[in-house]
Structure 1
């Protein structure tokens, strides 16, 4: 049997709650939502580093930012690390990359810094060399190519041409879009003509942006318009697979490098370990993933490469820290971690951990040249069951000291395993004890404890 093709449909800076599968009521992503239901929806999917370069390095290598050396932007991915493309190429696949790279220091990107991809139509800094209606990429010979149409459509057209040319051979195609990232030189989110007005007429704003403001009042409509066009392009690419009779033998992953908090958590759009910057939409369809349903296991960027490599029947390199989630998709009882680890740089040097209920974060004085720090201080603790948009910071509250200590120990264990360091973490200073709404599961546990001791739950 022929090996399955693999396509990664990769967006930039897309929040998880732009999708209907995560509760957005605007109908922006019917293709994502439909295929997430039919295939596998990775409900708890996170960027391990909320920044373009480090997240992309982690995806291509299956390793965390401090392991790749790309712990902030403008650091070149070392060419000696095994990558997704190199593994597929060694396995007999044609490999192609279209779009934004952001893992080299120059445009055009020289061949030895392309991560092992053979076909190349890309730019290192796509946001600097192109615009929404001025799509410019560099081909394999380093020549600039201007593609017609809105940038999302232009790149999708190029991808469909690649798929058509390789219909008879197994291929790995990485489709890397800039959208819905802002256009840097205008500090705007430029959607296709007319889409901003359509979005404005029925705009839904996530609760964190309602409460915290930021730039969403003037940026969100354009951002949503870009998301809608991406989903339309995703559907068009899937239509191309169907027309070429490739649907049944092509694994397709849709995911993003990080999300966007619209300057509500710092002076940037990302570089924060809050849900609004690290939680991303992720689904997989195709052989091995159809009917997988909603998987709630904690999935992170370094898990992407091992998952796709195993799904293609190839050997996952020992250098990859992430793990394939295929065993969990096949059997929800399979062993899997119950937390996710985050590193952050450029706005701060920080670390965080997330369980299904808690988010715990620490920070240090930022040092541009250091990937980590010898000591950190607690800055936030959120109860995601009661506070999914992270509006009530529990750090420093005496009632949550035991929880914070447990999460601190788990975070230090992650740092030791991934970074080989043993930093100190200073407790948050005591803060005023505010009321906290318990989750029903807490009340249920209290009820069970009281009744087991013969107490009246109403006492």
Structure 2
């Protein structure tokens, strides 16, 4: 964490208690102001999601000397870099359900992988279509009901299961099951196959996106591009870079949260770096197409991920933990309303993205949405003072857990019975507790330490309030008795 960010946080900390009491009216007033002066010409919106992309592998975030992301860095130089964005559920399908519905994963019907999105919920795609947009999707979906014959995931996705993306559709429910890095199949809106061979998967999906962007658009468009990389190829249990790319990243920088722990990073980091480079090249290519088609000035471009990657250092797979390596994600936005270099350190979550994009487009968000638009944080110091810097994290599959993330602390509780078959538990135990100021790499677990008891109790009560606001029953949280 930079000294600059630390000093800003120290300044905010003294006013946080008062700020939280005034946050809602201040942000609400800003929201009404924006909606009352909606843009005369609706901006196009592109959301580019790279699966399992660590926030610190963006060069503009200044934490990794080996990563190669000149095009994403240029995006950050033109627009807004939300440097402390987090996922509210660090696993693929639940995270996506939160992103599209601005509801918590326990409310979307997708609290673990393999479940279907609740069709009754308003979605970002659906709300934009109501406002006159087309809603278009390319790539991995992961929000349709799993099919055991296809590794738990169907290939084609029925129109009613597409979450409001009812215009262009070129995707598969889970690319990791229907494709490999150099061959595979996705399906069009009529569920006719589109196959590729001898082309890298990232480039193939970029081809499809370029094809769409070069077509004449009669309406403003919302395009969601969902890449699999740098996520691992499931049946190979590793990320796979373009041919020859991994050799360029042998002996590259090892993030400090990884280097002290056993895991798969020793073998897999070169390929991960190569995948990152391929994603960056894809972003650059699409930005050039926007310029050539004279769309760039009126297009909001969002670069984001669904979760990070800890390379089996924190549990027996790649994410599904409360650590920064799992929950922190890149979030960079450029375009109308987001122009001008700015790093924004306030905590924002995936749950906040959909209402933010609607506000930027001058569209009213559904009252049922739980997220907060962070559009007021852009170039508004007063709104940033009033921002409530808390995010709720729900964890499934690896454990049934809950966490609260603040600028200074991560406090996580877990169902120590090991039961992961239910969306929530009635009783949790304190499990992990990290000081983000002194230990940003989260190597010292403070759970159970008596000198931190008062802070743990404060965070426990805050977590309970967040859980109730998310629609959960207030649980019992048992204090840790031993150092983990």
The two structures have a TM-score, normalised by structure 1, of 0.92
Q: What SS does the aligned partner of 1:162 have?
A: helix
Q: Does 1:137 align with 2:186?
A: yes
Q: Does 1:125 align with 2:174?
A: yes
Q: What SS does the aligned partner of 2:97 have?
A: helix
Structure 2, unpaired ranges of 5+: 1-39, 146-153
Separation of aligned partners in 1, 2:441 and 2:398: 21
Shift of 1:167: 4.0
Q: Does 1:19 align with 2:58?
A: yes
Separation of aligned partners in 2, 1:3 and 1:135: 36
2:162 aligns to what? 114
Separation of aligned partners in 2, 1:166 and 1:54: 34
Deviates more, 1:214-223 or 1:28-37: 28-37
Shift of 1:27: 4.0
Write out per-residue CA displacement over residues 178-207 of structure 1, whole angstroms, 9 at most, x where no aligned residue: 01000011112111011000111x511001
The two structures have a TM-score, normalised by structure 2, of 0.87
Partner of residue 416 from structure 1, selected from 433, 445, 468? 468
2:94 aligns to what? 54
2:68 aligns to what? 28
Radius of gyration: which is bigger?
1
Separation of aligned partners in 2, 1:167 and 1:78: 30
2:207 aligns to what? 157
Q: Is the 8 A contact 2:115 2:144 kept in 1?
A: yes
How many residues in Structure 1 have an aligned counterpart in Structure 2?
A: 431
Separation of aligned partners in 1, 2:361 and 2:203: 28
Shift of 1:166: 4.0
Shift of 1:78: 1.4
Q: Is the 8 A contact 1:135 1:154 kept in 2?
A: no
Write out per-residue CA displacement over residues 287-323 of structure 1, whole angstroms, 9 at most, x where no aligned residue: 0001150111111011111111111111111111001
Matches for 1:61-76 after TM superposition, within 5 Å: 61-76=101-116
Structure 1, unpaired ranges of 5+: 433-459
Write out per-residue CA displacement over residues 151-195 of structure 1, whole angstroms, 9 at most, x where no aligned residue: 101101100111111445310000001010000111121110110
Separation of aligned partners in 2, 1:168 and 1:244: 14
Shift of 1:262: 0.4
Separation of aligned partners in 2, 1:399 and 1:357: 16
2:479 aligns to what? 427
Matches for 1:368-383 after TM superposition, within 5 Å: 368-383=420-435
Gap change, CA 1:393 and 1:63, over 3 Å in 2: same
Q: Is the 8 A contact 1:29 1:227 kept in 2?
A: yes
Q: What SS does the aligned partner of 1:177 have?
A: strand
Q: Does 1:351 align with 2:402?
A: yes
2:120 aligns to what? 80
Q: What SS does the aligned partner of 1:220 have?
A: helix
